[in-house]
Amino acid sequence: MSRLYYSRKRVMVTGGAGFLGSHLIDRLLAEGHDVLCVDNLFTGSRDNLVEAAKNPNFEFMRHDVTWPLYVEVDEIWNLACPASPIHYQHDPVQTTKTSVHGAINMLGLAKRLGARIFQASTSEVYGDPHVHPQPEGYWGNVNPIGPRSCYDEGKRCAETLFFDYHRQHGLDIKVARIFNTYGPRMHPADGRVVSNFVMQALKGEPITIYGDGSQTRSFCFVDDLIEGFLRFMKAPAEVTGPMNLGNPSEFTILELAEMAIRLTGSGSTIVRQPLPADDPKQRQPDIALARKALGWQPTVPLEQGLERTIAYFKQFT
């Protein structure tokens, strides 16, 4: 038999119909694996899986990870959870349940199967940081009872569960802390800053900035992030993370708005609104660990990535 047969794995991706999950599935299929996509389609979309669905090695299952799942797989990627404030604040109790119950169910499955499991955590575990840029050793500054807490604390609890399963049961885990990521297949109405600015610019609407626009973010193009995912998952078992994955190039929100206007050729103006509660003033990853352990760093500049994102969003205007 071919080497491909022996290297092929049956891989499960929860949240696979989402922005990141669908890009990950495309790469896994390209590597020759059998891929099971599990998604309840709360924020994901079958439209993101059009190409994947043409592949005979792809299978879709509609399922909510807050309920147990009994399947046979070699590897688990847990990406299931709404990731934008407008979506995760819609039903905050369900968001917390997805992070916590979902983690428990997927960890239990991984334990039964002896499978390596990847957790898509978030830079939001750092809250509104007092340390800049944020290294993995920083414990964060998070409000446990605010409107963003369902996501922030849900993801923090999920990390706790992953490392307790690792220590108590010897589970093979990978925990990635994902910083702001953008690119094709973002939901045009997800409320995140890139999609907001691009859609407003394409429609010629005023671009809404919250606060004075001096708050910073670091934007990683989706292709770069998925490459980091794959390298991390293939790293030796002792490389558990948590590991920051994101682009350390820092931009103010005002700079992003001005770039969106310029690249779309828009006549949009900029308007300001009050800053939302618990909105972080700074966000920039320290990726020294990823550089050392994975030989990984982003390669797509913001302007180039935005051009590709704008081309995708034009279909919605």
> What confidence tier does 3 reach under pLDDT thresholds 50, 70, 90?
very low
> What does the pLDDT read at residue 278?
67
Query: Distance (Å, rounded) from C-alpha 286 to C-alpha 159?
Result: 19
Given a cut of 80, whether residue 7 has pLDDT beyond it is: no
**pLDDT tens track for 12-32:** 999 999 999 999 999 999 999
**pLDDT tens track for 173-229:** 999 999 999 999 999 988 889 999 999 999 999 999 988 999 999 999 999 999 999
**pLDDT tens track for 247-305:** 999 999 999 999 999 999 999 999 999 887 767 788 899 999 999 999 999 999 999 99
- Give catalytic residues, as residue numbers: 151
Given a cut of 80, whether residue 316 has pLDDT beyond it is: yes
Alpha carbons within 13 angstroms on the beta-carbon side of residue 52 total: 27
DSSP letter string over 57-81? TEEEEE--TTS------SEEEE--S
283: nearest Cα among 253, 240, 307, 243: 253
Within 8 A by CB and 6+ apart from 110, the residues are 76, 116, 117, 165, 171, 172
Fold observed for domain 3-179+222-247+282-299: Rossmann fold (3.40.50)
Given a cut of 50, whether residue 134 has pLDDT beyond it is: yes
Q: Where are the domains of the chain?
A: 3-179+222-247+282-299
Q: What share of the chain has pLDDT > 70, as a percent?
A: 98
> What does the pLDDT read at residue 67?
97
The secondary structure of the chain in percent helix, strand, coil, rounded to multiples of 5, reads: 40, 20, 40
